[in-house]
Chain A
Amino acid sequence: MSMNTVGRPTRPEAPQGADVNDYVHPTLTGARGLLQDEALIFELNAWDKTGVDLPDAPAADDLGDLVRKAPIGLPGLSEPEAVRHYVRLSQKNHAIDLALYPLGSCTMKHNPRLNEKMARLPGFSDIHPLQPQSTVQGAIELMDRLAHWLKTLTGMPAVALSPKAGAHGELCGLLAIRAAHEANGQGHRKTVLAPTSAHGTNPATAAFCGYTVVEIAQTDDGRVDLADLEAKLGDHVAAIMVTNPNTCGLFERDVVEIARLTHAAGAYFYCDGANFNAIVGRVRPGDLGVDAMHINLHKTFSTPHGGGGPGAGPVVLSAALAPFAPTPWVVSREFGFKLVEEAEGPAAQAFGRMSAFHGQMGMFVRAYAYMLSHGADGLRQVAEDAVLNANYIKARLGDLMSPAFPNGPCMHEALFDDAWLEGTGVTTLDFAKAMIDEGFHPMTMYFPLVVHGAMLIEPTETESKQELDRFVTALRALAGAVAKIKNGGGDVDRFKGAPYHAPLKRLDETQAARKPRLRWKPVAAAPLAAE
């Protein structure tokens, strides 16, 4: 029995020469201890059940042949069955409440439950987007206050709240830029520049807006190549899109110069604000010359990621772009707040509407509660601790793994390449899967694309030193196992077949893509529910 550094027993080690697969014997039912093998709801034979008590109602009135007659094919579960089904499924998920979740560029930080409680107050959760504005003054004021915080923290004069996610915010920013060019007789500008290290959403968004994307080269120290930028700027360029801090986890040192060159060429500077958490309270993007930047409320201001969404992506805008902000927006009036749903006002040149209603109100409530909790002082500390934690990871792993940019500090995430794995047969993917067996969610892999076999680790500010040390200990142990392989001994199967201790072993993604099965299909037609 081996012991980890805090003295807890870990799993027994396999005897020398044993096949790693022998560690786990298949069980008779497919369950593993308390982890149940959970069927699909469609396989529970519950076609005639319901877990909701509803009164009988008379047949439909005046609907004639519009009434559905064929069976739909939906099973129902009684309440205890439903609760058990979903709780069992939940046990097969990793989550930030279980352990460090070091996904670079995703910012998985603690989700305070106070925010959940606030979002569920009936005055926020049970109000309709189209009820009279006189009956929702508190909600509109909350939007106004949130806007004030975002504008103050970024040093920008305007904000559009309605984008529903980071990528939707990018779209909003580029649409404002496009509208500004069209209004200024510059509609011929059809190119957007983006660094090779950009988030994939940046080029996708630009293309969606009808732009051609041209890549800007990167310097050896992971920043935008100014000479290449200058060479590619011209009166055909509508905007540049730069992430700052960038996806290599570095601050763009020349950002002020980037903005100056961009503006001199008549283009706008879009900043991808996915990494705003690294600088909040310490740097205002408005001071850097940014024209538009989305803020992922779910990242910087911690709203739960919920298995991939919902997010919220408000966009701050410079004075030049402010008139083009989409509807709706909030204005403060003598007798209260007004939500302006159709463009009005002398300067308004709104480019249109981003979605049906006013944005992710549920996320606004959570983010605002988070802001109030931290305050101006706490938010500054957020950036400092996020950066400190990432540099600590980099320092503690830098001797065994290979930092992609060893010189100088990183910001809120530490980037490694796979040079240290060379010659071992272990890939970034294998190493990541082996981390699962040690109880950690893998880091972001193979992104950014500019670094070979990239491993991007973002601990965030809500990790304690003790949790970071636990993580470092596990990674150093794994790196030690890699070193053994390098020296001719060691167990490459530990990596190649990992994970062994997750609910499932490695999944066949190729088969899933080659023969897509995107829904359950009945063997025979599902019986119609009896009424």
Chain B
Amino acid sequence: MRYLPLTPQDRADMLGVIGAESIDDLFVDVPAVARRTGVVDLPLHAGELEVEREMLALSRRNRSASEGPFFVGAGAYRHHVPASVDHIIQRSEFLTSYTPYQPEIAQGTLQVLFEFQTQVAALTGMEVANASLYDGSTATAEAVMMATRVTRRSKAVLSGGVHPHYVGTVETLAHAAGVATDRLAPAIDAEDAVIAAIDADTACVVVQTPNVFGTATDVTRIAAAAQAAGALLIVVTTEAVSYGLLKSPGEMGADIVVAEGQSIGNGLNFGGPYVGLFACKEKYVRQAPGRLCGETVDADGRRGFVLTLSTREQHIRRDKATSNICTNSGLCALAFSIHMSLLGEKGLRRLALVNHQKAVKLRDALAAVPGVEVLTPRFFNEFAIKVPANAAELVETLAANGVIAGVPFSRLDPTAGLDDVLLVAATETTPDSDIAFFAKALTKVLDQ
């Protein structure tokens, strides 16, 4: 067994040092009824070649995004990641290190987290950010819980523009914690309905921009309405590249910003691991969930970094902690930070513009398809279209024709009655020829 270094002789010698006759002597505390003598009913160990062969066979039964025209978004986006990002995150000292509990020998990880926090705070236009959460959806649920602690109120208003899976994640936790949720009906432009739903019990208002239909919104008016009622505004973003082009949530008055950071530095990975961005106003930081890295000095006065404000966390406050989480998405945050460092402000702005340009081209091409109506008025790199068909069936037909066309809204929310709505996205990875191919295939399929 190539991963296990002990030889039979080592094992015998070690048992001798311990003073045990056999390995079974070390398992004496296991009740006899639960001791298993043989091996379980699973295949026996396999060599590297065999494992590779089996995994490769499984992977080949998936169509990867780069194999052809691909327009899927709705919370996860295909972007080009520079080769050096994956190279650096595979360095042993980053890949195989643990939570930086011993700061003297974890400055690499800690400085990266400090730089990451600064980058996220700048992008979102907020004062502080944490060192990442699991993903955008769980970060949203944590933000709602945090708002109930800050305001001591227990109702969350969830805009109809929020990704239904994010709403589901929030509802799960809110139900358990006794927090009421007011989930508004899905809407391409949800602004007025959100403002109307705010009342004196509202702890927070959760809005998404660009929202799940792609609509880019100025949330300034919602921020003012929420804050006037004593509630916090939580702004969600699922496409972090949009920060390069659009006004930041901080500029529009957000109290807490949460986002999915997958778009920068991280692959699609069939849904995970991703990286949750979390930023807020400084006055709320002691109520924030998750890990924080702070600057300090060592015994010689040299600058260094440590995990800090851990008095909020589960290992000290236990049942009074701000959240139960004890890990972050360290490696994904590292990938985010490296990619962000490579882009810089100049690169990010260009990347965002190219994304928008591709989506505009896609809109123009699809709008010209007979029977198709573009629903989203202002968007970044994703928008909704109405098709004269069942969108889910259409997507299957188009897949058979070589186009991975997008996400039928009914897959996100089957109860919404929006069976003819399709969400489509384009990024810098979308060639113009794929856009033309998509429009042609759609025309053909709808014509049949």
Which chain A residue lies CB-closest to B1? Answer: A378
- A61 CB contacts on chain B under 8 angstroms: 356-357, 360
Give residues of chain B (43-68) contacting chain A, Cβ–Cβ below 8 Å. 43-46, 48, 50-52, 54-66
Q: Across the interface, do B96 and A376 meet the contact criterion of CB distance under 8 Å?
A: no
Q: Across the interface, do B36 and A373 meet the contact criterion of CB distance under 8 Å?
A: no
- A70 CB contacts on chain B under 8 angstroms: 251
Asked if A68 is an interface residue, CB under 8 A from chain B, the answer is yes
- Contacts A391-B14, A505-B299, A511-B296 known; 14 new A-B pairs at CB < 8 A: A40-B115, A63-B245, A74-B119, A95-B96, A103-B98, A106-B99, A116-B90, A126-B65, A127-B65, A129-B272, A251-B30, A356-B166, A360-B272, A373-B46
Give residues of chain B (281-336) contacting chain A, Cβ–Cβ below 8 Å. 285, 291-300, 302, 304-306, 308-311, 313-321, 323-332, 334
Q: Of B61, B76, B169, B310, which is in contact with the most chain A CB atoms at under 10 Å from its CB?
A: B61
Which chain A residue lies CB-closest to B23? Answer: A384
- A94 CB contacts on chain B under 8 angstroms: 93, 97, 102, 105-106
Q: Across the interface, do A97 and B96 meet the contact criterion of CB distance under 8 Å?
A: yes
Partner of B137, one of A355, A436, A531: A355
- A507 CB contacts on chain B under 8 angstroms: 103-104, 296-299, 304-306
Asked if A132 is an interface residue, CB under 8 A from chain B, the answer is yes
Q: Across the interface, do A82 and B84 meet the contact criterion of CB distance under 8 Å?
A: yes
Q: Across the interface, do B39 and A47 meet the contact criterion of CB distance under 8 Å?
A: no
State which of B194-202, B223-231, B341-349 sits at the interface with chain A.
Answer: B341-349
Q: Across the interface, do A129 and B268 meet the contact criterion of CB distance under 8 Å?
A: yes
Asked if A141 is an interface residue, CB under 8 A from chain B, the answer is yes
Q: Across the interface, do A306 and B105 meet the contact criterion of CB distance under 8 Å?
A: no
Asked if B192 is an interface residue, CB under 8 A from chain A, the answer is no
Asked if B122 is an interface residue, CB under 8 A from chain A, the answer is yes
Give residues of chain A (414-462) contacting chain B, Cβ–Cβ below 8 Å. 432-433, 436, 441-442, 447, 461-462
Asked if B143 is an interface residue, CB under 8 A from chain A, the answer is no
Q: Provide the bound-state CA to CA distance between A353 and B260, in Å.
A: 17
Asked if A504 is an interface residue, CB under 8 A from chain B, the answer is yes
Q: Across the interface, do B314 and A123 meet the contact criterion of CB distance under 8 Å?
A: no
Partner of B428, one of A54, A210, A308: A54
Asked if A473 is an interface residue, CB under 8 A from chain B, the answer is no
Which chain B residue lies CB-closest to A114? Answer: B48
Q: Provide the bound-state CA to CA distance between A61 and B295, in Å.
A: 41
Q: Across the interface, do A68 and B344 meet the contact criterion of CB distance under 8 Å?
A: no
- Whether A356 contacts B99 in the complex (CB less than 8 A), given A63-B378, A134-B396, A507-B104, comes out as no
Q: Across the interface, do B298 and A508 meet the contact criterion of CB distance under 8 Å?
A: yes
Report B163 CB to chain A, min CB distance, Å.
7
Q: Across the interface, do A93 and B105 meet the contact criterion of CB distance under 8 Å?
A: yes
Q: Across the interface, do A352 and B341 meet the contact criterion of CB distance under 8 Å?
A: no
Which chain B residue lies CB-closest to A463? Answer: B5
- A282 CB contacts on chain B under 8 angstroms: 27, 30, 35-36
- Whether A255 contacts B31 in the complex (CB less than 8 A), given A98-B92, A507-B298, comes out as yes
Q: Across the interface, do A512 and B308 meet the contact criterion of CB distance under 8 Å?
A: yes
Task: Report 29 cross-chain contacts, Cβ distance below 8 Å, ordered by A residue.
Answer: A52-B342, A54-B351, A58-B357, A62-B377, A68-B245, A68-B246, A74-B122, A77-B344, A93-B97, A93-B109, A114-B52, A123-B59, A125-B64, A142-B58, A166-B326, A168-B134, A201-B314, A207-B320, A281-B40, A307-B94, A309-B134, A352-B175, A353-B168, A372-B55, A385-B4, A387-B27, A388-B11, A464-B10, A507-B298
Report A145 CB to chain B, min CB distance, Å.
8
Q: Across the interface, do A68 and B247 meet the contact criterion of CB distance under 8 Å?
A: yes
Q: Across the interface, do A508 and B357 meet the contact criterion of CB distance under 8 Å?
A: no
- Whether A72 contacts B123 in the complex (CB less than 8 A), given A86-B88, A129-B268, comes out as yes
Give residues of chain B (254-275) contacting chain A, Cβ–Cβ below 8 Å. 260, 267-273
Asked if B445 is an interface residue, CB under 8 A from chain A, the answer is no
Which chain A residue lies CB-closest to B377? Answer: A62
Q: Across the interface, do B40 and A153 meet the contact criterion of CB distance under 8 Å?
A: yes
Asked if B440 is an interface residue, CB under 8 A from chain A, the answer is no
- A312 CB contacts on chain B under 8 angstroms: 273
Give residues of chain B (95-137) contacting chain A, Cβ–Cβ below 8 Å. 95-109, 111-115, 117-119, 121-123, 127-129, 131-132, 134-137
Asked if A30 is an interface residue, CB under 8 A from chain B, the answer is yes
- Whether A57 contacts B6 in the complex (CB less than 8 A), given A93-B97, A138-B62, comes out as no
- A60 CB contacts on chain B under 8 angstroms: 245, 353, 356
Q: Across the interface, do A353 and B51 meet the contact criterion of CB distance under 8 Å?
A: no
Report B75 CB to chain A, min CB distance, Å.
6
Q: Across the interface, do B76 and A129 meet the contact criterion of CB distance under 8 Å?
A: yes
Q: Of B300, B305, B324, which is in contact with the most chain A CB atoms at under 10 Å from its CB?
A: B324
Partner of B176, one of A38, A131, A210, A360: A210
Asked if A365 is an interface residue, CB under 8 A from chain B, the answer is yes
Report B257 CB to chain A, min CB distance, Å.
14
Q: Across the interface, do B19 and A395 meet the contact criterion of CB distance under 8 Å?
A: yes
- B75 CB contacts on chain A under 8 angstroms: 129-130, 356-357
- Interface flags for A68-98 (1: CB within 8 Å of B; 0: not) read 1111111111010011011101111111111
Asked if B447 is an interface residue, CB under 8 A from chain A, the answer is no
Partner of A310, one of B62, B76, B329, B412: B329
Give residues of chain B (203-231) contacting chain A, Cβ–Cβ below 8 Å. 216-218
Q: Across the interface, do B29 and A51 meet the contact criterion of CB distance under 8 Å?
A: no
- Interface flags for A477-507 (1: CB within 8 Å of B; 0: not) read 0000000000000000000010100111111
Asked if B138 is an interface residue, CB under 8 A from chain A, the answer is yes
Q: Across the interface, do A76 and B294 meet the contact criterion of CB distance under 8 Å?
A: no
- Whether A208 contacts B176 in the complex (CB less than 8 A), given A279-B30, A531-B346, comes out as yes
